[in-house]
Amino acid sequence: MIVRILGEGQFEVQSSLADRINAIDNKIVEHVNKGDQKEFKKDLARMISTIKEKGEPIDPVDILPSDIIVPPGDLTLEEARKVFRGEGLIED
């Protein structure tokens, strides 16, 4: 699976990591629905760091279609309400 983090590049992630990212994604949706900015920011940072640490970076020269696009870490709670809704970034 190819994941793009806006402003940070693309990463290839294995399916086991995709499951972990999906779990974080689901928590982010809950935080956004509750208006809990602190926990939203914490889990968005955790999602991004997990992808960067565990995923395999793709050479910036190779632009591949992304399966998932993750917003940048400075996303506001208001902006997140447009992105993290329903099933979030990853549909089950």
Per-residue pLDDT of 6-62, as tens digits, reads: 999 999 999 888 889 989 999 999 999 999 999 999 999 999 999 999 999 999 888
For residue 65, report the phi and psi dihedrals to the nearest 5 degrees: -65, 130
Collect all residues with Cβ–Cβ distance below 8 Å to 40 and sequence separation of at least 6: 28, 31, 32, 77, 80, 84
User: For residue 51, is it within any domain?
Assistant: yes
Q: What's the predicted TM-score (pTM) here?
A: 0.87
Amino acid identity of residue 59, one-letter, is D
How many distinct structural domains can be found in the chain? 1
For residue 10, report the phi and psi dihedrals to the nearest 5 degrees: -110, 150
User: For residue 92, is it within any domain?
Assistant: no
User: For residue 73, is it within any domain?
Assistant: yes
Q: Is pLDDT at 2 greater than 60 in this prediction?
A: yes
74 within 8 A of 45, measured Cβ to Cβ: no
User: For residue 47, is it within any domain?
Assistant: yes
Q: Is pLDDT at 92 greater than 60 in this prediction?
A: no
User: For residue 90, is it within any domain?
Assistant: no
User: With the CA atoms of 36, 79, 59 and 20 taken in that order, what torsion angle do they form, in degrees rounded to the nearest 10?
Assistant: 30
Q: Is pLDDT at 88 greater than 60 in this prediction?
A: no
Q: Residue 37 sits in which domain range?
A: 2-83
